Amino acid sequence: MLGIKKKYYVKQELDDDKPSIHGRIKRNNNNDQNHQTGFCLMSMLELQKPIIDTPCWPVKKAAASTIIAVFLITVLMVSVGWLDISFSGVSSYQNMGVGSKSTTARHKPEFPLECSTENQTQTCRRDYPTTTGIPPMNTSKVECPSFFRWIHEDLRHWKQTGISRDMIEGARKTAHFRLVIVKGKAYVEKYRNSIQTRDKFTLWGILQLLRMYPGRLPDLELMFDCDDRPVVRSRDFQGPNARPPPLFRAETNIRPWRNVLKEIKKGNERRKWKERVPYAYWRGNPSVAPTRKDLMKCNATDKNNWNTLLYVQDWDRESKQGFKQSNLEDQCTHRYKIYTEGWAWSVSEKYILACDSMTLYVRSRFYDFFIRGMQPLQHYWPISENTKCKSLKFAVEWGNIHPKKAIGEAAGKFLHEDLKMDNVYDYMFHLLNEYAQLLKFEPTVPPGSVELCSETMACPRTGTWKKLMVESLVMSPSDVTPCGMPPPYEPQELRDFLETKANSTRQVEMWESQYWLSQY
């Protein structure tokens, strides 16, 4: 392959004669006290920038198609998974493990699926506890990770006006289904089919949340859009009296996240960072977005070596071959892994960050909920969107020269600790609670809607669907309260936080500029 393997090398680490981020790579700084072990990922709240009337966001013109506060409760799809056709390894079947904060969970009464016999209509079991046994006002001694504070920012658009039924109905034209929770039970009103099974596993995730915290969620009503592209444009809802519709957003051959993460960790251990291929790696579908097509121009050739190895993923062929070349745990073989968004967010993000490779993060307009708690030069290396090739080459050169300072482990630690499965459930719990408090009407069960429960969804299924649903079933209510919701950012505090991020990015840009000037 272009003889590139023969060119692999590791330069000696230099001292202070090259740009350095010494003193910046501190692991999670003050967040360590809030970290707990465990995990599973899935709740992705998607949001674009800039947000309406938010003066403290980094200055950047909004594209006409950007969304305002479009909530991607992939969190809710966490359960078994969702498809991302732009994924850089395999369309993802993401799974929400059973998970419990209690070390004595195995001694609690368990409530597996209660499936009817062949000739009987499947019903919901009625003996599942309706409460957790935890006093409703019990305050958790464990504070949620700091990125939970963005829930307040995401719902800020409706803080003054609240959410009316008219606003909910305004999202119906693009929604795939309406979800209603009344007295702890879930109901769905379906409007149209979604791609693959995004709707089904989104709903499955919510059902597991109801099993985790029975009786704790308030009545609520919301709309879900299961497509990739943004549909609520910020330009259509400007001014203090804007009334944007709240729209939540929600599959193949990826095992439960809890298991995948363990396997990725084993994959990390097979080859130490210095032993990995000293190039930047990306595999995915470049046809889904212009920024990805542009990325492919950076592929290493005999004429132009941009220090990258980029591969086109053929999903049809991969599917026919049983996804044998798409095992996530086998993809932690390069020192650097590239993340770039597709139509919007890409679920590949968490898998890339979990590899302990240095993540080269092409600047994006759409965010998973957790990335907003991560910092450039601590968890990832920012890559310029407009000059990708030069930016990637410099990042790899810098990392190879400074192997002891290359970023990677901090991101993996963040995923294992801040994104453990308990925190995913709690993020879902707090988001839906805060959302429900904004409703200015009483949620009611729509005529023609269908009651959902784990039995009616999982028992009729067979094969992979059934297997993953059984594996991800929450067997018992949690015996501890959700983590404590942190307060909203004060305006100046948020400005400082974003300015710190911007300064780190500017620092990289300065180093990069100096590097290229020295080449001429």
Instruction: Find the helix or strand (DSSP H, E) in which 361 lies.
Output: strand 358-362
pLDDT at 35 over 90: no
pLDDT of residue 256: 66
With CA atoms as reference, report the closest residue to 85 among 327, 281, 290, 313: 313
Residue 121 lies in a domain: no
Least confident of 218-222, 279-283, 299-303: 299-303
Average pLDDT over residues 358-375: 88
pLDDT in tens, 223-245: 998 876 666 767 777 776 677 77
DSSP character string of 286-340: GGG-HHHHHHGGG---SS---SEEEEE--HHHHHHTTTTT--GGG---EEEEEE-
pLDDT at 82 over 80: no
Task: Please name the residues in contact with 290: beta carbons below 8 A apart, sequence gap of 6 or more.
Answer: none
Q: Which of 418, 450, 465 marks a domain boundary?
A: 418
Side chain identity, residue 381? W
Based on the domain organization, do 408 and 426 belong to the same domain? no
DSSP character string of 188-224: EEE-SPPSTTHHHHHHHHHHHHHHHSTTTSPPEEEEE
Cα distance between residue 46 and residue 72, in whole Å: 5
Based on the domain organization, do 352 and 449 belong to the same domain? no
Residue 302 lies in a domain: yes
pLDDT of residue 318: 54
The end-to-end CA distance of the chain, in Å, is 29
Higher pLDDT, 221 or 60: 221
pLDDT in tens, 125-152: 999 999 887 776 667 778 999 999 999 9
Based on the domain organization, do 439 and 324 belong to the same domain? no
Based on the domain organization, do 272 and 405 belong to the same domain? yes
Based on the domain organization, do 483 and 380 belong to the same domain? no
Residue 327 sits in a domain whose CATH number is 3.40.50.2000
pLDDT of residue 28: 37
Q: Which of 384, 418, 452 marks a domain boundary?
A: 418
pLDDT category, 364, cuts 50, 70, 90?
Answer: confident
Dihedral angle at the C-alpha atoms of 344, 348, 350, 354, nearest 10 degrees? -150
pLDDT of residue 80: 34
Based on the domain organization, do 426 and 411 belong to the same domain? no
With b meaning 16 or more CB within 10 Å and e meaning fewer, what string describes 146-182? bbbbbbbbbbbbbeeeebeeebbebbeebbbbbbbbb
Q: Is residue 180 a contact partner of residue 443, using CB atoms and an 8 Å limit?
A: yes
Copy the structure tokens of residue 421: 């499965």
pLDDT of residue 420: 82
Residue 46 lies in a domain: no
Based on the domain organization, do 350 and 396 belong to the same domain? yes
Average pLDDT over residues 300-319: 77
Residue 115 lies in a domain: no
Copy the structure tokens of residue 260: 């995948």
Based on the domain organization, do 466 and 321 belong to the same domain? no
With CA atoms as reference, report the closest residue to 468 among 196, 320, 252: 252
pLDDT at 14 over 50: no
pLDDT category, 337, cuts 50, 70, 90?
Answer: very high
pLDDT at 81 over 60: no
Express as a percent the part of the chain with pLDDT over 70. 71
Based on the domain organization, do 231 and 330 belong to the same domain? no
pLDDT at 324 over 90: no
pLDDT of residue 63: 34
Least confident of 62-71, 246-255, 454-463: 62-71
pLDDT at 455 over 80: yes
Cα distance between residue 220 and residue 511, in whole Å: 50
Residue 435 lies in a domain: yes
Q: Which of 360, 393, 418 marks a domain boundary?
A: 418
Q: How many domains does the chain have?
A: 2
pLDDT of residue 404: 83
Which of 3-7, 344-348, 369-373 is predicted most confidently?
369-373
Based on the domain organization, do 162 and 231 belong to the same domain? yes
Based on the domain organization, do 414 and 293 belong to the same domain? yes
pLDDT in tens, 143-188: 999 999 999 999 998 998 999 999 999 999 889 999 999 999 999 9
pLDDT in tens, 429-438: 999 999 999 9
Q: Show the domain range for 353.
A: 257-418
pLDDT in tens, 486-513: 999 999 999 999 999 999 999 999 999 9
Residue 327 lies in a domain: yes
Based on the domain organization, do 166 and 185 belong to the same domain? yes
pLDDT at 417 over 80: yes
Residue 68 lies in a domain: no
DSSP 255: -
With CA atoms as reference, report the closest residue to 514 among 406, 398, 359, 382: 398
Mean confidence (pLDDT) of the chain: 76
Average pLDDT over residues 24-30: 36
Residue 200 lies in a domain: yes
pLDDT at 425 over 60: yes
How many C-beta atoms surround the C-beta of residue 98 within 10 A? 19
Copy the structure tokens of residue 128: 């599942």
pLDDT of residue 137: 62
